[in-house]
Each structure stands twice: as structure tokens, then as C-alpha cells.
């Protein structure tokens, strides 16, 4: 539990920092290639701590599973996405890129309790 709290790049920091730049650099799409995600992640954040969350947020499950050698995974794709849903969407598990983009653009003052319509309907990723 404390490991997650002490991570240098928190889930919410990743969710706020990455979506806008992904759209700027690679156009808006439902899923991104791991190389695209890694490029933006390293550009926006100081290190690659917790990059597995970015892969789980923005890549397909198949792409995530192909990264086995790059990641020393302690969690599965589904476990990481459920953790993101808890941190960013009040346990709403059906987030997609649209909801992550909306989350990244929210004001810090407003918090996460936005319109449920932005959460989309993609259940835990897919292709």
C-alpha cells in the first residue's frame, strides 16, 4: 500500500500529464503504441518510474503483454487498470482514452467528480 503512495510518478500525475501530449504528437486515437507512450512519458516526467501504469492506460492489453521483457511486472494489465480506476475515476472501471483526456484537462479545484458521460464505455481496455 505504501509502495503505491510513495511512487515518484503517481497514477494521477501520469493520467494528467500524458494524454494531451499523446494527442499533440500522435493524433487522437483509442490506443497508442508502447513506443509512443514511452516517448511522451519520458518527455513529460523525469524518469520511467511507474511506466507500467501508462502502458495499461494508453496501450492495448496485447501490446502490454508483449512488453514482458521490458517490464518486471508485479501486476497484470487488469490489476493496473483497476488501480487507475480507483485513483482517477472513483472506481469507475470503464475508462478509455476519452475519459483519460478529460481527466487530464480537469481543473485541480474541480477534482474527479465530473460528468459520468466522459468515462466512456470501454470495459477495461480491449482492441
- Mean pLDDT of the residues in the chain: 80
Look at residue 125 and tell me if it is in a domain.
Answer: no
How do residues 68-123 score in pLDDT, each as one tens digit?
766 766 788 889 899 999 999 988 888 999 999 999 988 444 544 444 444 444 44
Instruction: Name the packing angle between helices 19-26 and 97-105 (round to 10°).
Output: 110
Helices (H) and strands (E) in the chain, counts: 8, 0
Look at residue 127 and tell me if it is in a domain.
Answer: no
Residues 6+ apart with CB under 8 A from 125: 31, 56, 60, 61, 77, 81
Q: What range defines the domain where residue 73 resides?
A: 2-119
User: Distance of alpha carbon 116 from its chain centroid, rounded?
Assistant: 18
Per the structure, how many domains does the chain have? 1
Look at residue 124 and tell me if it is in a domain.
Answer: no
Residues 6+ apart with CB under 8 A from 97: 19, 28, 29, 30, 31, 58, 120
Q: If you write DSSP's letter for every residue of 47-88 in order, what string do you get?
A: S-TTHHHHHHHHS-HHHHHTTTTT---SS-HHHHHHHHHHHH
- The residue ranking higher by pLDDT, 127 or 105, is 105
- What pLDDT, on a 0 to 100 scale, did the predictor assign at position 69? 65
Amino acid at each position: 500500500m505504501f509502495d503505491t503512495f510513495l511512487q515518484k510518478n503517481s497514477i494521477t500525475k501520469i493520467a494528467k500529464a500524458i494524454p494531451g501530449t499523446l494527442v499533440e504528437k500522435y493524433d487522437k486515437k483509442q490506443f497508442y503504441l508502447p513506443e509512443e507512450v514511452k516517448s511522451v512519458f519520458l518527455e513529460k516526467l523525469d524518469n520511467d518510474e511507474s511506466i507500467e501504469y501508462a502502458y495499461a492506460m494508453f496501450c492495448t492489453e496485447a501490446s502490454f503483454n508483449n512488453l514482458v521483457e521490458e517490464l518486471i511486472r508485479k501486476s497484470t494489465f487488469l490489476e493496473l487498470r483497476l488501480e487507475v480506476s480507483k485513483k482517477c475515476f472513483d472506481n469507475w472501471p470503464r475508462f478509455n482514452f476519452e475519459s483519460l483526456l478529460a481527466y487530464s484537462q480537469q481543473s485541480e479545484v474541480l477534482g474527479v467528480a465530473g460528468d459520468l458521460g466522459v468515462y466512456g464505455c470501454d470495459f477495461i481496455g480491449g482492441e
